[in-house]
Amino acid sequence: MLDNQLLKIAQEFGSPVYVYDADKIEKQYNRLASAFKDVKKLKINYAVKALSNISILKLLKSLGSGIDTVSIQEVKLGLAAGFSPDQIIYTPNGVSLNEIEQAAKLGVKINIDNLSILEQFGTKHPKTPVCIRINPHVMAGGNANISVGHIDSKFGISIHQIPHILRIVENTKMTINGIHMHTGSDILDIEVFLYASEILFDTAKQFRNLDFIDFGSGFKVPYKQGDIETNIEELGKKLSERFNAFCKTYGKDLTLAFEPGKFLVSESGNFLTQVNAVKQTTSTVFAQIDSGFNHLIRPMLYGSHHEIINISNPEGRERFYTVVGYICETDTFGNNRRINEINETDILCFKNAGAYCFSMASNYNSRYRPAEVLWYNNKAHLIRKREAFDDIMRNQIEVDFNAKKDTILAK
């Protein structure tokens, strides 16, 4: 999208506002599908938690995507978006058996990552096929907070516990229809991913009724000019060749599944904010905006980098600014960034704001969550209204403190 288009959106819908480019989402989806074109059966399941707006889900459904869900609420959202149960895989962590049973009743694919829950579910529902999430004990990516395949991770069943899984399957007579792993985000070295894949193949050999193998995702996208990213094309070539060879040995054409979130939607997103004030201190020039970590928490939570551009003054001379929010906490988006000269009321654009941005927003400080807009067919479509005070109050229940208090008479 062009800066002048984003400016018009900010003028029309106000700020702060999230804007998503449908064309970019489609290009990323087709790029991933093309990289694995040599696989007979490929299934891309979009990770709903990255960006869960129902219009985004419907867009991805139109492209042929399934969805990966992590809560019963995301399952229901997927069904509301028009996905059939067989297009939905449910991959929770730390939920109750009751919630898993609710999802199973809806007919979606079930993915379990806990030995105890696996045994309980298999005992009660042996005829319901189950996928198993394996922890390959492989550290992928450079950030421990977003790497989930290492030995201390809460996610998955350890590869060293495969004998326990086999015993449970034998005792319950349950069917295992899939094997799954997710090593984490921001994978750069595809050889590490391929190494983890070999662990998954070795695990899959021990289950004879599989329909699919799910390799998770975690593909890195570029966060700034010249940044490195996962080489999807090289990974596609190497993993496709290895997967096809495994299927031949296994004696059955399995489905190769992925569950990308950030890869599909991150680069499509632009977060537009207005500058409230420019504040000069003895050492720093602060650009204070009409947002905070209540809207975009990733820089504070993960140290994530988002390029910040002044789209109101693209030709202005560059100066150093520290961009901060209006929350009564430390909510620094960027320290000492070179940005075209900023004035009050200018619109700043945060790039790579499509994944884990709005979906992690809150009402902290009783602030409203922002609007969302989808740029589709060269037109801006409002896909979520900005919140208002009624939304803050909707589920609160007031106690009448003027009512007569009950008295207790002491004996």
Question: What is the per-residue burial (b if ≥16 Cβ within 10 Å, else e) of 84-108?
Answer: ebebbbbbbbebeeeebbebbeeeb
Among the listed residues 335, 397, 331, the one whose alpha carbon sits nearest the alpha carbon of residue 364: 331
Among the listed residues 352, 46, 358, the one whose alpha carbon sits nearest the alpha carbon of residue 227: 352
Cβ(214)–Cβ(259) below 8 Å: yes
Token pair recorded at residue 309: 């551009």
d(CA 152, CA 165): 19
Q: Which residues sit opposite 356 in a β-bridge?
A: none
Cβ(12)–Cβ(380) below 8 Å: yes
How many helices (H) and strands (E) the chain has is answered by 12, 18
* Secondary structure letter of residue 187 according to DSSP: B
SS3 252: coil
Token pair recorded at residue 394: 């909707």
Active site residues: 328
SS3 246: helix
d(CA 225, CA 193): 25
Tell me how far CA of residue 23 lies from CA of 264, 350, 352, 355, in angstroms.
11, 18, 15, 16
* Secondary structure letter of residue 248 according to DSSP: H
Task: For residue 26, count other CB atoms closer than 10 A to its CB.
Answer: 17
d(CA 366, CA 147): 32
Among the listed residues 383, 344, 380, the one whose alpha carbon sits nearest the alpha carbon of residue 5: 380
